[in-house]
Amino acid sequence: MSFYFTNINSIVVLTGAGISAESGLSTFRLKDGLWDNHPVDEVATPEGFQRNPALVHEFYNARRQQLSSVEPNAAHLALSAFEKSFSGNILLVTQNVDDLHDRAGSHNLVHMHGELLKCRCTACGTIKEIRSDLSTDSLCEDCGRKGTLRPDIVWFGEMPMELDRIYDALAQCDLFVSIGTSGNVYPAAGFFQEAKMAGAHTVELNLDPGEHASGFDQCLYGPATQLVPEFFG
Ligand code: BV8
């Protein structure tokens, strides 16, 4: 059943780990989730990085390496095709740090939790694309310091990226679609309420109900590679 986009001029789509699951990337909270193998506070907080940067680099190096062996799936591609055909405004906000939306061709895209393929120098602030492993010996080519590079990822307790742009879009949207996210992590988990306050129709597309399923106007459950092409097709 595809959605009828008549009278829809502005859309915000929020994606989470579930949209990349069928490409072969682990989600976080399911039984084989990433966090199970790595305590969050050890690998996804600034304190954890301070305590053991080598462990954090190892965690992100493994995930970065995995990117070269996975491809965007039908859900990523359906969103990219829709963006090209839709005459109104659409903003795709992803919590994911993988590059599958980018490789699928989405352009109006915000990586609110950062990107695996970027690193940041904690000394000079330079942000660079990377495809190789980071280590505590990595050299910042801009300031020449060693051991100052970190993944350009938003850890727990850090400010997500481009929140002003996201909240502006939520305040004007008439359709909000949440795809493949459990709704555990804030402020992303509260975006559907911002959209609701703006009068938007809110939809959850997920494998199973997220934390805030009862707050959505419409919920469809199943794999993203089926739901997303159907909904945006
Ligand atoms: C911040 C990068 C200050 C790392 C990540 C209230 C307001 C503001 C903050 C908080 C608050 N309450 C608590 C906080 C603090 C904290 C927080 O939310 N804690 C939680 C645990 C309670 N938030 C923060 O620290 C954030 N920063 O608050 O700054 C501030 C204050 C006010 C206003 C603004 C800012 C920063 C959080 C970012 C942390 N970094 N990622 C990395 O990726 O390595 S979070 C990480 O976990 C992901 O990015 C993602 O966001 C989250 C995982 O969630 P999901 O994507 O939903 O994945 P999950 O596995 O949980 O679920 C998968 C879903 O997919 C499931 O529902 C499943 O059913 C579905 N699925 C599976 N397969 C499929 C599928 N669906 C469809 N098809 C399939 N095949």
pLDDT for 33 equals 46
Annotated binding residue 16: yes
pLDDT for 190 equals 98
- Between the CA of 173 and the centroid of ligand 1 the distance, in Å, is 22
Ligand 1 atom at shortest distance from the alpha carbon of 75: 78
Identify which of 172, 177, 191 has the alpha carbon closest to the alpha carbon of residue 231: 177
| Residue recorded with tokens 């491809």 | 71
pLDDT for 32 equals 47
pLDDT for 34 equals 54
Identify which of 180, 187, 161 has the alpha carbon closest to the alpha carbon of residue 16: 180
pLDDT for 218 equals 97
pLDDT for 40 equals 84
pLDDT for 150 equals 98
The region, left, alpha or beta by phi > 0 then psi within -120 to 50, assigned to residue 176 is: beta
Catalytic, 113? Answer yes
For the chain, the maximum distance between any two Cα atoms, rounded to a whole number of angstroms, is: 56
Q: Which amino acid is at 113?
A: H
- Between the CA of 186 and the centroid of ligand 1 the distance, in Å, is 6
d(CA 40, CA 95): 16
Annotated binding residue 35: yes
Q: Two tokens at 178?
A: 């949440």
What residues does ligand 1 touch, defined as CB less than 6 Å away?
Answer: 16-18, 21-22, 27-30, 33, 44, 95, 97, 113, 153-160, 180-182, 184-188, 206-208, 210, 223-224
Where b means 16+ CB within 10 Å and e means fewer, 160-171 reads bbeeeebeebbe
pLDDT for 37 equals 75
Query: Does residue 211 contact residue 189 with C-beta atoms inside 8 Å?
Result: yes
Q: Which residues of the chain have pLDDT under 50?
A: 31-33
